[in-house]
Structure 1
Amino acid sequence: MSKAPSQRGFFGRLFRGLFVLLVVFGLIGPILTTATYRFVPPPITWLMIQRVFEGKGFDRRWRGLDDISPRLVRAVIAAEDAKFCEHRGFDFNALEKAIANNAKGRKLRGGSTISQQTAKNVYLWPGRSYVRKGLEAYFTVLIETMWGKRRIMEVYLNSIEWGPGVYGAEAAARKNFGVSADKLTPAQAARLAAILPSPLKWKAAKPGPYVKRRSGRIGKAAGTVNRAGMADCVLG
């Protein structure tokens, strides 16, 4: 009879210990990590590690936002998230359109914002699941709250995949055009933005007909982004 209270005490302490670990690693840990990444470049991501094991190499050269062409900023906003400066991490109208489009059996269309893509690339593993989407939403809220738009764009442009083993604007600019990211022309910026949905398949340096058409549309849309001040939260 004397063992029961002892067992209850043991399991009680175990439960409290697990709860503390959950709080530390599930809540406090991500907050501290996000606060650190506000000032320190995020390290290698899960996708980068996966690509290395796939034999695709690794080329990433961090550049501050002031050392990346504003033309590329406008181009990726035009291509990926026209309301980047307006929303707080989620574009629900774009998400509804994506769901409706996919429900009709058309070509899959994403509704993720640049903020969501940044959270996914920096913190999470490749793949699709409800758990991953939930974590993506959590980290999106964190970076929108703690980083602000300029830092989100800076991390995004330094972390996204731009070809086999190529990550970030500087590596992409040098790989495709032999120039630094601050020297990109409007056409080059539009081509880099055009291949973002499928960087392992599409080529910026030697684009096919589809990428040429897409980059042309993005170039025109980037002009609208400039005239309408749609990138002012980053470049203003």
Structure 2
Amino acid sequence: MARRSKPKGIWRLIRPIAIVLAILVAIPVVLTPVYLFVDPISVPMLERYVTGRPVVRQWRDMGDISDRLKASVILSEDGQFCRHWGVDLGALREEVGRYMEGEDARGASTITMQVARNLFLWNGQSVVRKALEVPLAIYVDLVLPKRRIMEIYLNIAEWGPEGQFGVAAGAERAFGVEPQNLDWRRATLLVTALPNPMLRKPGRPSAGMVRIAGIIEARVGEYGARANCVGEGGRLAL
């Protein structure tokens, strides 16, 4: 009898873990289709709400955001965004190779992976988190069209140190303008803040930020067609 009861004892230990894992898997599976119609909030935003810190975010539809900014984000953050299925396999292979060789990570997160992380995971460098991002990004890309993924990204990306989320809050804080009124200089400078919005100030850019903004604008001038998947009718008006 003792031998027969042992599996039951193990199941009592495993069952709560299995339930928690099932719930964690179900959350993105259920919510991602909902985000076709409902404008989401991110985990960092939710964390600030729970801890009583301010959140500044005014949702903007894609038609109310400058095409210059959309193209600049893609050519800066994820040049293959319109071509891959949520994950840039070439960049990911290089990242895994660097990790296996003990080198510092460089990123390899696509825009879709960043959306998946901000909606369902946590910040901070972690191999586990990165491994979870990959299937989540593939699922997000399968369910949501590219234009909607970009719309969500532009409205949940952190764009300032005081709870500014989304391009509307970022453009207002940096330049005092609406996101559809961004010229090339302002659009590209706003993008340079994305890697470190806590420290970089596009309204008062450093020489390095100005140089990077010029590089981004040149990339868009040469490869802007790569961003057409997020344009109205499949084309951006640059």
> Which TM bucket (shorter chain)?
0.7 to 0.9
2:117 to 116, 120, 124: 120
Q: Does 1:109 align with 2:106?
A: yes
2:39 to 30, 38, 41: 41
Q: Which residue of 2 aligns with 1:77?
A: 74
Q: Which residue of 1 aligns with 2:203?
A: 205
1:220 to 218, 221, 231: 218
Q: 1:100 to 1:208 in 2, by over 3 A?
A: farther
> What letter corresponds to residue 230 of structure 1 in structure 2?
R
Deviations 1:59-108 (A, max 9, x none): 111111111111110000111011111111111223345567786968x5
SS of the equivalent of 2:205 reads coil
Q: Does 1:158 align with 2:155?
A: yes
Q: Does 1:140 align with 2:140?
A: no
For residues 51 and 26 of structure 1, what CA distance do their matches in structure 2 show? 21
Q: RMSD of aligned C-alpha atoms?
A: 3.1
SS of the equivalent of 1:163 reads coil
SS of the equivalent of 1:111 reads coil
Shift of residue 211, structure 1, vs aligned partner = 0.4
Q: TM-score under structure 1 normalisation?
A: 0.84
Residues 115 and 140 of structure 1 are in contact (CA less than 8 Å); yes or no, is this contact kept in structure 2? yes
Q: Does 1:171 align with 2:152?
A: no
Deviations 1:95-140 (A, max 9, x none): 345567786968x532111111111111111122232122211211
Shift of residue 52, structure 1, vs aligned partner = 6.4
Q: Give the % identical residues.
A: 36
Aligned residues: 230
SS of the equivalent of 2:197 reads coil
- Unaligned runs of at least 5 residues, structure 1: none
For residues 101 and 208 of structure 1, what CA distance do their matches in structure 2 show? 30
For residues 139 and 90 of structure 1, what CA distance do their matches in structure 2 show? 10
Residues 28 and 120 of structure 2 are in contact (CA less than 8 Å); yes or no, is this contact kept in structure 1? no
SS of the equivalent of 1:60 reads coil
2:226 to 220, 223, 230: 230
Q: 1:100 to 1:134 in 2, by over 3 A?
A: closer
Residues 74 and 225 of structure 1 are in contact (CA less than 8 Å); yes or no, is this contact kept in structure 2? no
For residues 157 and 194 of structure 2, what CA distance do their matches in structure 1 show? 8
Residues 193 and 200 of structure 2 are in contact (CA less than 8 Å); yes or no, is this contact kept in structure 1? yes
Shift of residue 46, structure 1, vs aligned partner = 2.7
> What letter corresponds to residue 183 of structure 2 in structure 1?
T
Q: TM-score under structure 2 normalisation?
A: 0.83
Q: 1:199 to 1:128 in 2, by over 3 A?
A: same
Q: 1:161 to 1:29 in 2, by over 3 A?
A: closer
Q: Does 1:182 align with 2:176?
A: no
- Unaligned runs of at least 5 residues, structure 2: none
Residues 194 and 211 of structure 1 are in contact (CA less than 8 Å); yes or no, is this contact kept in structure 2? yes
